Structure 1
Amino acid sequence: MDEQPSYSFQVNLKGMIALLSEHLYSDPNTFIRELLQNAVDAITALRHIDENHVGQIAIHLPHGEQENFRFEDNGIGLKEADIHQFLSVIGESSKGKDINDAKDFIGKFGIGLLSCFVVSDQIIVETKSALEQKPLRWIANTEGDYSIQPMLEDMPIGTRVILKPKKVFNYLFEKSFFTAKLRFYGDAIKEQVMVHDGAITEVLNHGQPVWLTEKSDKAALLEVGKRVFNTSFLDAVPFDTEAGKTRGVLYILPFKTQFSSKQYHRVYLKRMFLSEEDQSLLPSWAFFVRMLINTEELSATASRESLMKNDLLRDTRKEIAKALKDYLRTIKAVDYSIYTRIIQTHFLHLKAFALEDNEFLDIFLDDMPFETNRGFRNFKHIAQAQQTIFYCAEFENFKQIDRLADTQGQLLVNASYTFDTELLKKINQRYRQYTIREMLPSQLMETFSDIGDLETERFKAFRVKAEAILLAHNCVLELKMFQPADTAAIYTKPEQSHLENTAKQLKENANPFAQVVKAHTPKTNNRPILCLNVSNDLIHSLAPIEDTYLLQSVIEVLYVQAMILGKYQVQESEMKVLNNAMKNLIVMGLTNFVNI
């Protein structure tokens, strides 16, 4: 069999450079970060040879007649073979070829220098290797060509990158803007960074950052958080992890946040700023936290704008989650005022956490707040108030019966908020000492008092007439005594079965299976109930009325009014009933109406 020929891919180098430099890097400021990272890595490489080497980075901004930008470091430098291999081959990196401790370096993809093409059409690199002592100049253009030539003049060991800024990006090299970005990216690095603007020199970093110091004062950490995130936090929680070799601070927000809101953190890789938007290191429930973190062992993606999602990152996230859990478990004993503020502000996120973590639920259960018909109460107060804890899963149900439940002495929880119903069900299953039940409007009538024999006899004729009137509206009459006495009537609808709800939804969606489900749904005789309060003066005065026409109008007004007060949807037909009844009362004369 003849051997099939093979072919090599053809690459448009100019297009490749444009793709990498203009699209891989989403921000034109990225070249500052890339140059800073390369300089730090070069100094780290030389420190492997001379552990006492003191790194320095010098930056010369364009000034006056000096139009070029220079970025210099006293790192290990590059040999000629390194230049051909690492500067001129896209995707190659010197940070792992000859140095065994490649894990100490920030960048590993060998394409960071291309970000300079975003702001300059030419890149000049002047370098002298500590291993070769031969100064060389590498010149690359956006056309895709480069040249290497020996330098006639000597230079110190290290590397110098020279750019001529594009006019459209001149603003990036103005001192105030540039130094702000430089601090943004490199405020945590160990190396001394000096910025020269003509005759003015400024040293940007001074000593170890407070938040990376092993034993830092909490007040100092909170001050750092305020400066970095522009927020006065409730508390600062320092942490470190074995996985990923991380150290940082978790800041507790002083205000509520939405689950859908975007969170911003400060993530550093080997002390170089990496990302504000990478949220991969925090557990999904920690929306109430801002994080300031440095990692020594996690890896960045090719664009160096986020961390790689791998097993090491997942292990690191677990350790950070444990640190936050441990803090939340102990803060009650350490500082009760902070604990209560956390509960009051972030109870929604804590409930989400409690649904996932039984141990956390055990710790926070007593202090979990719930809205009730008597205002917000913690769970301990609710449990102590009555043997059975009643809740409404639907807000409409809660609004229908909250006042009535209160007058019956019932504490009622509004569990229509996110997580509340699921959490109460979990509590009911997990803790045998609590009895927790959902209350429906129809169940509330079970707490009302039956009328006595005397009242039963007094309302006997009235009941027959009223039942006949309500039958026309497919409604059942109940006579009870309950508080508050100023409530004349309440209207409740029976809860539909699961099959009935399914059939209704299918019908609303014009689903052909609606009739099939309806045919197999057991028929029930449950009808809406109008419960009249015999303790109410108006209802009590209805018993002697013999005029059926008058009684019908009054009953129909009470019927529709009770629907409205119960927050039920009133259809056009019910409004017509109300209007006709009111009209009839007016026609019969106000005198008869007042004498009811």
Structure 2
Amino acid sequence: MTGTVETFEFQSESRQLLQLVVHSIYSEKDIFLRELVSNASDALDKLRLESLRDSGLDADTSDLHISLETDTAERTLTVRDNGIGMTRDDVVELIGTIAKSGTAEFARKLKEANDAKDAAVSTDLIGSFGVGFYSSFMVADRVTLVTRRAGEKEGTRWESEGEGTYRLQPVEDAPQGTAVTLHLKPVDEEDNLHDYTAEHTLRSIVRRHSDFIPWPIRTEVEREEDGTPTRAVETLNSMKALWGRSPEEISEEEYTEFYRHVSHDWSDPLRTIHTRAEGTFEYQALLFLPSRAPVDLHQQDARRGVNLYVRRVFIMDDCTTLLPDYLRFVKGVVDAQDLSLNVSREALQQDRQIQLMHRRLVKKILASIKSLRTEDPERYATFWREFGRALKEGLLSDADNRATILEVSSFASTHDAEAPTSLRDYKERMKEGQEHIYYVTGASRARLESSPHLEAFLAKGYEVLLLTDPVDEVWVEQVGEFDGTPLQSVAKGQVDLESAEQDAEEGEEAAQRKEEFGPLLEWLGTRLGEEVKEVRLSSRLTTSPACIVGDEFDVTPTLEKMYRAMGQPLPPVKRILELNPDHALVTALRSAHAASAEDAALGDTAELLYGMALLAEGGDLADPARFSRLLAERLAAGL
């Protein structure tokens, strides 16, 4: 039996908000079902807790579940639960007024998102401030709610077309819990309205958004047995939140299957990170290091981020605020127990709990990579080959974890042609009296190994790191040292590889050479003044006649090119030409200059010497045609 129907008007502010919710969300209309199922799950949780608290509660808790009931002919979808239910006052307070507080602020945010045509933000805002129920009107012309609170005798019926009024009516024979019936709009693919009475549609939405809800979500399906149509009740969700179980209970096969589900990658994960945080703020995380990098790992518009759940309710699948960009290759799920639902991504970045999770997850992942290096060097080598370049970006963006990132990083080096080295291992191999970790940057290992900058270092047995990733050009300048030992480029500044005793012994010889070569150096400085800022003798060359180096704080040519490619050209940087005083070409040039400083051929030789040094380091000639012509003339003259 039912009682008298009463009609009420929404508050003017609530009516405006309702119109924004209904008409301002252009995508992800499927999300309405997530909201209704989430509400039903909460109602079941509350009934379970209430029954434990009050043993005398007149309520049936024998088969708590959620049902999805469809009527194709009438085009209705009902989401039913047998949870705690609501009294008439609850309905008026929680449903009739839409949002008890914060309505104006929510309306402002939703309108801003709509004005900006940011459908993703709009979708995230659904459900904020207690209005998730009203996302139903995105897909329904009319919504009917029938509810009875556990332990109460009378139920309540609420109904509205979402225009400006709603109707309330007492119901005497209402079952325990809440049933929300949506009178669906016509199917419209252009408007992204699916057939929500179709089994496959409901199954797909539940699997995506509510698969890990701890209560069974059931629906009646039609099957055929021996040619005879039959109907049976099936559970649509797995209810298996793998991250909520103890690691000891989970097999490698289960982990692998779940990884493939969340990553859409059919290879096995390289490492599984299963962690739980307890205390004032609780969350669970099941994360994976993939075994291969996706093709779009270094593309700006690539999808990244992990799946975010709150109490097993799916919130978003690319939550970029939980992990920094340099860990964008990590896949998996984070499930928080106490987090504001469905706020915008901008707000998430400012949320204290999100920041706390961010810090803890980063430390856990880096610790796992560090242990991987120790426990399984082969798997670590795979990880570094696939993701090392991305991880090193953290040396620039994450100062708090910079030391740890340096510890887990590997670098090619002159020590071993095959296996990269850690900075810790490099330090253990440093020569007695060595004060720097030496490195050189460039486009490829092959080019760096033939660089004249390495000659003296290799001759004297010093190990040099060979850094070939674009990010290396930047982080070495910002980091500066490892565990108290400075990093030093072999292509910058002055180089002194001699001991104090050797310096004293060779000091007189060096002074004599400086005097002998002084006129040539001065002349070359003037002749090449447009290209270089100084010409000096070198202590880093053993076989090449010359090389070009930068001052200690100069921008490298590669970094200069990178800035130019990004549309940020830097002022031209003049560099230093260093000569090998023991090379036959340099000594011959000194003799020729001493004999006749006005010889025109000397100028051509100076240009060729500078061009050869530029090419040796992989630089670009300003006038390749002129260099080729001068070289051809000099070769012809020598034949």
Q: TM-score, normalised by structure 1?
A: 0.72
Which runs of structure 2 are paired with 1:90-239 in the superposition (5 Å)? 90-92=98-100, 109-151=129-171, 154-167=173-186, 168=188, 169-197=193-221, 199=231, 201-206=233-238, 208-215=240-247, 216-231=250-265, 232=267, 233-239=269-275
Deviation, 1:406, is 3.2
SS of 1:61's equivalent in the other structure is strand
Percentage identity across paired residues of the two chains: 19
1:80 matched to 2:105: no
Structure 1 window deviating more from structure 2 (563-572 vs 357-366): it is 357-366
Output the amino acid matched with 1:412.
V
- Counterpart CA distance in 1 for 2:359 and 2:69 is 44
Q: CA 1:366–1:381 in 2, change beyond 3 Å: closer, same or farther?
A: farther
CA contact (8 A) 1:128 1:159 kept: yes
- Counterpart CA distance in 1 for 2:48 and 2:259 is 32
Q: CA 1:557–1:451 in 2, change beyond 3 Å: closer, same or farther?
A: farther
Structure 1 window deviating more from structure 2 (438-447 vs 46-55): it is 438-447
Unpaired runs of at least 5, structure 2: 1-9, 53-60, 102-125, 223-230, 556-570
Structure 1 window deviating more from structure 2 (438-447 vs 47-56): it is 438-447
CA contact (8 A) 1:56 1:74 kept: yes
CA contact (8 A) 1:372 1:414 kept: yes
- Counterpart CA distance in 2 for 1:247 and 1:115 is 28
1:404 matched to 2:482: no
1:58 matched to 2:67: yes
SS of 1:263's equivalent in the other structure is coil
Deviation, 1:540, is 5.0
Corresponding position of 2:114: none
SS of 2:286's equivalent in the other structure is strand
Q: CA 1:332–1:206 in 2, change beyond 3 Å: closer, same or farther?
A: same
CA contact (8 A) 1:21 1:115 kept: yes
How many correspondences in the alignment? 530
Deviation, 1:292, is 1.0
* Cα displacement string for residues 77-116 of structure 1 (whole angstroms, at most 9, x for unaligned residues): 23223222222111149xxxxxxxxxxxx98843111101
1:245 matched to 2:282: yes
CA contact (8 A) 1:469 1:552 kept: no
Q: CA 1:259–1:419 in 2, change beyond 3 Å: closer, same or farther?
A: farther
Corresponding position of 1:439: 490
1:369 matched to 2:415: no
Which runs of structure 2 are paired with 1:7-46 in the superposition (5 Å)? 11=12, 14-23=15-24, 27-46=28-47
Deviation, 1:187, is 1.0
Output the amino acid matched with 1:300.
L
Superposition CA RMSD, Å: 4.8
SS of 2:167's equivalent in the other structure is strand
Deviation, 1:380, is 4.5
* Cα displacement string for residues 182-233 of structure 1 (whole angstroms, at most 9, x for unaligned residues): 1111111121111224545432134543332123234422321111221342
Q: CA 1:530–1:235 in 2, change beyond 3 Å: closer, same or farther?
A: closer
- Counterpart CA distance in 2 for 1:91 and 1:352 is 44
* Cα displacement string for residues 515-565 of structure 1 (whole angstroms, at most 9, x for unaligned residues): xxxxxxxxxxx9954626654479759957978646336524524523542
CA contact (8 A) 1:489 1:558 kept: no
Higher Cα radius of gyration: 1
* Cα displacement string for residues 470-523 of structure 1 (whole angstroms, at most 9, x for unaligned residues): 7444477767898664x444455767899xxxxxxxxxxxxxxx9xxxxxxxxx
CA contact (8 A) 1:47 1:53 kept: no
Deviation, 1:404, is 1.3
Q: CA 1:172–1:424 in 2, change beyond 3 Å: closer, same or farther?
A: same
CA contact (8 A) 1:133 1:157 kept: no
Deviation, 1:241, is 0.8
Q: TM-score, normalised by structure 2?
A: 0.68
Deviation, 1:333, is 4.5
CA contact (8 A) 2:441 2:466 kept: yes
Corresponding position of 1:96: none
Deviation, 1:35, is 0.9
- Counterpart CA distance in 2 for 1:552 and 1:444 is 28
- Counterpart CA distance in 2 for 1:45 and 1:22 is 32
1:555 matched to 2:605: yes
